[in-house]
Structure 1
């Protein structure tokens, strides 16, 4: 089993201490006991935390939405919309959620000079398959896979999503977890709910902590918990680590690949964390920033005034 599979259920952002002492009682606070569901979404640890007398019913609605969206975005379900697109190179009448996500991908692709590119999936698959056999990809195979990468070859409209070249494929693992967090939060907000923390691998705070104040989120950098918590209220937080998940047992070949070269990130960053109003945007940006210098990150952020780089190190 390669390192990607062995580490699949680890949350890269590794948020901890969400019930810190910084949450003080205020006029919107509740004495209702906190309820926390823990499970899995898109192959990673997930949770929903709230304080509400109908918490179990609310979580059941959220879990149903997560399951529905996994049917759109999962790479590990053969019947998902994304898997069917990758298998045939086209998908007629694509789900609206897939189109919305691809639209965001195009925006972030343009703002990062192509470094955020979900069409890198053929190269990613080559790395995973090669290291499953205990070796690095050979140069010829890598060149063949690299020739299939290019966001310009992805065509999407309401009638069809299709690829320009046979063998192209997409991975939305750098954005879909955040997208699902946003959709779950939107569902709960439509029911008039608030003060809920949705974590599907990336975090989306709907309101603040039920005890008052913001949700205090602590970041884990290579096993070290940062002492200062990030306050999260009506905001999303996403984190990526270039070598948080690796293809090889030695943990040298990170899972975030440069679409221009086909190589794992050469940047020194251990963790990149971004906040934004939408978890999908924060997710995509944190993924792309793993491949970028500090100066390149600052330039890309000018296209997204509501997004903030909150940790880079």
Structure 2
């Protein structure tokens, strides 16, 4: 059985600030994005109406990225091996994924979905997959076999994609862009990964506490955290959900969790995932800074 040892990696400590200087009280909307808790924090006279529009936008994006909505764009692609005239958001997200794949030397690879499904199906039966099953799933992976174009995305037979290591961050970015287009500032978006649009209404940066301890302040930045054993496939919680695309095996990571900040939540999300496959803090820092504006906020050893 898949075992989720943590529900939230990081949580906003927004209520720590006094509000004497804030004209509007801080409003918090709560919902779900790709199966994770989502929140929106803002001080605005039309906060409820704004939040309703954001909920509609998140649902629209889930219709693109979800692996659980049978008619989502991603599920159509995985089912047919081809998606004609794919939505712009899917193309943009895959472009970011491709950049991280390249710089990470293959450590980030959305084509691991057959491997993930192999482990998840065995886990549902209280087992781990046989080596032969892993090998068969591994043969269905490989980013170089994905053909991406504005007219169509095409996969080789039996391949499938997962964007679970980037889509939550991407949705946060899209919500931020929607709010910016409406002229809003000083909003904290949490779709499982954080994106701060401006600062806290009190005039200070948004404070975010890390599950492993410590705090990161966000001023017009994003923050994402990955934990190799955050979700596990075995009853002893030793076989984690982050699979090394180069071997087909769950990573035996040196890290309890890694937090990365960047100007884009999608980039931070993908970088924190790939970084779990690196062995030293120096390697992680060298990898992350190849993306402009990105930096490691925390790397807690296992």
TM-score norm. by structure 2 comes to 0.95
Aligned residue in 1 for 2:157: 166
- Kindly indicate whether residue 93 of structure 2 is the aligned counterpart of residue 101 of structure 1: yes
Aligned residue in 2 for 1:125: 117
1:271-295 Cα deviation digits (max 9, x unpaired):
1000000000000000111111223
Query: Which secondary structure state, in structure 2, belongs to the residue aligned with residue 53 of structure 1?
Result: coil
In 1, Cα distance between the equivalents of 2:235 and 2:57?
A: 35
Structure 2 stretches of 5 or more lacking a match? none
Aligned residue in 2 for 1:244: 230
Query: Which secondary structure state, in structure 1, belongs to the residue aligned with residue 64 of structure 2?
Result: helix
Is contact 1:237–1:273 with CA below 8 Å preserved after alignment? yes
- Kindly indicate whether residue 298 of structure 2 is the aligned counterpart of residue 297 of structure 1: no
- Kindly indicate whether residue 40 of structure 2 is the aligned counterpart of residue 48 of structure 1: yes
Aligned residue in 1 for 2:135: 143
1:20 offset after TM fit, Å? 2.4
Aligned residue in 1 for 2:180: 189
In 2, Cα distance between the equivalents of 1:269 and 1:49?
A: 30
Aligned residue in 2 for 1:72: 64
Aligned residue in 2 for 1:20: 16
Aligned residue in 2 for 1:311: 298
Q: Aligned Cα RMSD in Å?
A: 1.5
Is contact 1:45–1:200 with CA below 8 Å preserved after alignment? yes
Query: Which secondary structure state, in structure 1, belongs to the residue aligned with residue 92 of structure 2?
Result: helix
In 2, Cα distance between the equivalents of 1:241 and 1:18?
A: 23
Runs ≥4 in structure 1, deviation > 4 angstroms?
none
In 1, Cα distance between the equivalents of 2:19 and 2:272?
A: 30
Structure 1 stretches of 5 or more lacking a match? none
Aligned residue in 2 for 1:31: 23
TM-score norm. by structure 1 comes to 0.92
Aligned residue in 2 for 1:62: 54
